[in-house]
């Protein structure tokens, strides 16, 4: 049994100013084929950062991760509850973790919509080979 980790979101929110508009960023698409369970850990910094993070899935062969056209929002459409703490909430730096099972999609991505503040978000995905 091997573990594979993938850093998928990075520091893309660093330096974004609170200009009153939402700034949307997408993770790279990632696959967890053959993994019965995978997990994601999120860490954020910046005491003013507020954002919504959602998980999206696609079975298209090569979906564009920077668009929602070929993707389905797993959080709102299919009852995936996301990160238990809800993600960054303009109060303080923080972290969260979630295990995902019964994941049968070909591709996944995370979408982060900043609603206020500045900060840095990192998401690391780890899949356990069966």
Ranges of each domain in the chain: 3-128
Burial group, residue 62, by CB count within 10 angstroms (0-12, 13-18, 19+): exposed
Distance CA 128, CA 79 (A): 23
Greatest mean pLDDT among 20-24, 66-70, 108-112: 66-70
* 113 beta partners: 24, 52
* 109 beta partners: 56
User: What local confidence, expressed as pLDDT, does residue 3 receive?
Assistant: 47
pTM of the model: 0.78
Distance CA 5, CA 61 (A): 22
- pLDDT band at residue 15, thresholds of 50, 70 and 90? very low
Q: Which residue has the tokens 């979630």?
A: 98
- In contact, 95 and 42? CB cutoff 8 Å: yes
- pLDDT band at residue 130, thresholds of 50, 70 and 90? low
The alpha carbon of residue 85 and the mean position of all alpha carbons in its chain are separated, in whole angstroms, by 13
Reply yes or no on domain 3-128 having CATH 3.40.50.300.
no
- List of residues 6+ apart from 3 with CB closer than 8 A: 126, 127, 128, 129
User: What local confidence, expressed as pLDDT, does residue 70 receive?
Assistant: 96
Distance CA 113, CA 71 (A): 16
């Amino acid at each position: 049994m091997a573990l594979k980790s993938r850093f998928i979101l990075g520091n893309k929110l660093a330096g974004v100013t609170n200009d009153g508009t939402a700034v949307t960023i997408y993770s790279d698409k990632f696959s967890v084929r053959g993994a019965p369970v995978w997990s994601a850990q999120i860490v954020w910094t910046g005491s003013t950062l507020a954002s919504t993070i959602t998980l999206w899935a696609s079975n298209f062969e090569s979906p564009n991760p920077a668009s929602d056209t070929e993707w389905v929002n797993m959080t709102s459409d299919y009852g995936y509850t996301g990160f238990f703490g809800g993600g960054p909430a303009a109060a303080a730096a923080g972290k969260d973790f979630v295990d995902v099972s019964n994941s049968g999609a070909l591709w996944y991505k995370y979408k982060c919509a900043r609603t206020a503040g500045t900060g840095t978000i990192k998401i690391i995905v780890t899949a356990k080979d069966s």
